[in-house]
Structure 1
Amino acid sequence: MRTTCVIAGGGPAGAMLALLLARAGVDVTLLEKHGDFLRDFRGDTIHPSTLQVLDEIGLAEAFHRLPHRKAYRMAIEADEARVPIADLSALPGRYRYIAFVPQWDFLNLITAEAARYPNFRLLMRARVTGLIVEDDAVRGVRYRDESGEHEIRAVLTVGADGRGSDVRRAAGLRPKEFGAPMDVVWLRVRREPGDPQQPFLRASAGHLMVAINRETYWQLAYVIPKGGYEELKARGVAELRRTIARLLPYLADRVGELRDFDEAGFLRVAVDRLTRWHRPGLLLIGDAAHAMSPVFGVGINLAVQDAVAAANIIGPALLRGEAPDALLARVQRRRALPTVVTQTAQRVVQRLLIRPALTRPGRPALPPDLTRLPVIRGLVRRFIGHGVLPEHVRLPERVRLQARQRRSH
Structure 2
Amino acid sequence: MGSIAKTSVACVVAGGGPAGMVLGLLLARSGVTVAVLEKYPDFLRDFRGDTVHASTLNLLDGLGLGDRFAALPQQREQRLTMQFDDGAVIEDFSRLPGRHQHIALVPQWDFLNLLAAAAAESPHFHLAQNAEVNGLIRESGRVRGVTYTDKDTGRTGEVAAPLVVAADGRHSTVRDLLGLRPRASATPHDCLYVRIPRLPGDPDGTFLRFSSSGGLIMINRGDYWQAALLIAKDTAQAARADEGAWTRRTIARLAPYTGERLAAIGAADIAVLQIHIDRLARWWVPGALLIGDAAHAMSPIAGVGVNLAVQDAVAAARILVPALRRGQVSGKDLARVQRRRQWPTVLTQAAQRLAQERFVAASITDDGIGDGIGDGIGDGTGDGIGAAPLRLPQPLRTLRRWPGFPHLLGRAVGLGVRPERLTGALEPLRHG
TM interval, shorter chain, is over 0.9
1:141 has 2:149 as partner: no
Q: CA deviation at 1:235?
A: 5.2
1:358 and 1:378, CA in 2 relative to 1: closer, same or farther beyond 3 A?
Answer: same
**Aligned pairs, number:** 400
Per-residue displacement from partner, 1:354-399 (whole Å, max 9, x unpaired)?
1122259422232335343256545422210111111001234779
Q: For 1:121 and 1:399, how far apart are their aligned partners in 2?
A: 19
Q: CA deviation at 1:250?
A: 1.4
Greater Cα offset, 119-128 or 359-368: 359-368
Q: For 2:246 and 2:296, how far apart are their aligned partners in 1?
A: 35
Q: 1:277 aligns with which of 270, 280, 283?
A: 283
Q: Partner residue of 2:161?
A: 154
Q: Partner residue of 1:197?
A: 204
1:365 has 2:372 as partner: no
1:28 has 2:57 as partner: no
- Assess if the C-alpha contact under 8 Å between 2:63 and 2:430 holds in 1: no
SS in 1 for 2:10: strand
Q: 2:339 aligns with which of 333, 340, 361?
A: 333
Matches within 5 A, 1:285-364: 285-358=291-364, 361-364=387-390
Q: For 2:344 and 2:275, how far apart are their aligned partners in 1?
A: 20
Q: Partner residue of 2:421?
A: 392
Q: For 2:22 and 2:193, how far apart are their aligned partners in 1?
A: 26
Q: CA deviation at 1:316?
A: 1.6
SS in 2 for 1:67: coil
Q: Partner residue of 1:186?
A: 193
Q: 1:223 aligns with which of 227, 230, 249?
A: 230
Q: For 1:253 and 1:163, how far apart are their aligned partners in 2?
A: 36
Q: For 2:430 and 2:358, how far apart are their aligned partners in 1?
A: 50
Identity of aligned residues (%): 50
SS in 1 for 2:94: helix
SS in 2 for 1:193: coil
CA RMSD of aligned residues (A): 1.8
Unaligned runs of 5+ in 2: 1-6, 366-383
**What TM-score does the superposition give when structure 1 sets the normalisation length?**
0.94
- Assess if the C-alpha contact under 8 Å between 2:12 and 2:37 holds in 1: yes
Q: Partner residue of 2:136?
A: 131
Q: For 1:220 and 1:70, how far apart are their aligned partners in 2?
A: 17
What letter is aligned with 1:19? L
Q: 2:270 aligns with which of 261, 264, 267?
A: 264
Q: Partner residue of 2:115?
A: 110
- Assess if the C-alpha contact under 8 Å between 1:23 and 1:397 holds in 2: no
1:244 has 2:241 as partner: no
Q: For 1:400 and 1:12, how far apart are their aligned partners in 2?
A: 20
Q: For 2:105 and 2:48, how far apart are their aligned partners in 1?
A: 11
Q: For 1:28 and 1:386, how far apart are their aligned partners in 2?
A: 28
Q: For 2:257 and 2:156, how far apart are their aligned partners in 1?
A: 52
1:98 has 2:124 as partner: no
Q: CA deviation at 1:195?
A: 1.3
Q: Partner residue of 1:3?
A: 9
Q: For 1:386 and 1:397, how far apart are their aligned partners in 2?
A: 20
